[in-house]
A = this chain, B = another copy of it.
């Protein structure tokens, strides 16, 4: 495996761009290929079998780009399909849930840990299982917040509406002894401020995207796969439907201009 090969980053849509954003900050010399499966988004309302089928199709497309590592920047796929992906691919595969749970366990100070995620991720029980293993003494509260994703995509990240929505979802967690909250959905970092206000200043907020970027860096080092900076890093952005629409939202999630979004056809 050549260290000069790109890192593949895969998500059902735009959310994984918050993971890519952190990766680009932490590992500025790495080439990347991002694939958002916008033809089949959202994955969170689909069964585990369907999610794994879709994830394998996308992962195989990315291996065609010669990637040296696959980052599954999607909580739903990380919850349901990591073993299948790791078995099917000849390269390291990193999800977002284990790094996020590890960081939450490390930050926890003896209070309860709140998992904020989509209904699908909460129902999968993946964060809860990881936290029971990594922080066996902590009480875990999982809270589904379905309106956070459309708020983030709409760009309504400040003001009355996100504040009231966050307060309605999270206001009672203060009284439940929560001292750590993990953002278990890639969209939620865009709503960091209203989430933090609803939780109160004493709660440590763990962003799974940051924890995942750290895990990727460690894994590259372990496999001696870090790219030596010889020329600027190249970044490609692919999606499976409506690239113009994708691009408009993508720039807000990535925090930098997205010059070109390539449309790929992954229909079976």
Chain A interface residues toward B at CB < 8 A: 38-42, 45-47, 50, 119, 146-147, 149-151, 153-154, 156, 160-161, 164-165, 168, 241-242, 245, 267-268
Contact = CB atoms under 8 A, between A and B. Distances in A.
Q: How many copies does the complex hold?
A: 2
A245 B146 CA distance: 14
Given A161-B168, A164-B161, A268-B268, A241 B47 contact: yes
B40 A40 contact: yes
Contact of A164 (B38, B47, B164, B267): B164
A157 to B, nearest CB: 13
Contact of A153 (B146, B156, B241): B146
A161 B165 contact: yes
7 contacts: A45-B242, A147-B150, A147-B156, A149-B150, A160-B164, A161-B168, A268-B268
Contact of A241 (B46, B147, B242): B46
Contacts of A146: 150, 153-154
